[in-house]
Amino acid sequence: MTDDAAAAPICLARPLPGPDDTRAGCAAARGVDGRPLHAAALKFFWGPMDCGKSTMALQMNYNHARQGRRGLVTTRIDRSLGPQVTTRIGLAHSAIEVTDGLDLRDLVRDSWAEGVRVDYLICDEASFYDLEHIEQMAELVDNYDVDVYAFGLATDFRSCLFPAAQRLFELADSVARIQVEVLCWCGREGLLNARVVGGRVVREGEQVVIGDTVDTAQVRYQVLCRRHYRAGDLGGR
Ligand SMILES: [Zn+2]
């Protein structure tokens, strides 16, 4: 690199082609280098069941909306089985169901085409999304300057990463474990999601089976510490 190049760094800003044409009413403030002052980011917030992921997702949506930003909320297989994000503490918000064929980029482009700004996406239950959806999230950040905040489980009932969660760990600008502690019956911090069928911890089966964390559910999930997850010990609940 020459001295001249060091003095005048090459601008790596994207030319912002195509998508910008459809960004009605979305003139982001730009710095002298042509890049948006607000750098978009892909952030993944993860934690076991019951740790308040959906609550945090809705709180984040509220916080951004209060600042005049416009966002879309998406989900997949919410416990309500409807197109909404519901939380265990009673909050609910309408949401777009992420189906197999849904392209998150189209979602944003269609919104822009209708003159509706989209500054960010809140993607709840992101570990249930397809890998393509995670790639689309990254593209929305990099090419469209849309913030994407994804919330989800890291591991399944076998304690293995969900493919979508793994991809988020690989691609996200930042990854944060949600700090609301869920306790195992023993008082240790809960880490893993055990699937319980007929009162026993099961370790084989489909990766995604709808269940709940209430005792009466046919298939239920219980958050355990690693020690008791590995032992399959439900603590006589
Ligand atoms: Zn325990």
Domains (range + CATH), the chain: 38-180 (3.40.50.300), 181-237 (3.30.60)
Q: Which two tokens stand for residue 2?
A: 């020459």
**C-alpha of residue 167 to centroid of ligand 1, in Å:** 29
Is 50 exceeded by the pLDDT of residue 216?
yes
Distance between Cα 56 and ligand 1 center (Å): 25
Residue ranges with CB less than 5 Å from ion ligand 1 = 184, 186, 188, 225, 228
pTM: 0.81
Dihedral over alpha carbons 165, 125, 153, 92 (to 10 degrees)? 160
Rounded distance, CA 156 to CA 163, Å?
10
Quick one: DSSP state of residue 188? S
Q: Ligand 1: distance of its center to the CA of 158 in Å?
A: 16
* Helical (H) or strand (E) element with 171: helix 163-171
* 139 is an active site residue: no
Which of 15-19, 25-29, 129-133, 195-199 has the least mean pLDDT? 15-19
Nearest-10 crossing angle of helices 131-144, 163-171? 20
Task: Give 53 Cα–ligand 1 centroid separation in angstroms.
Answer: 21
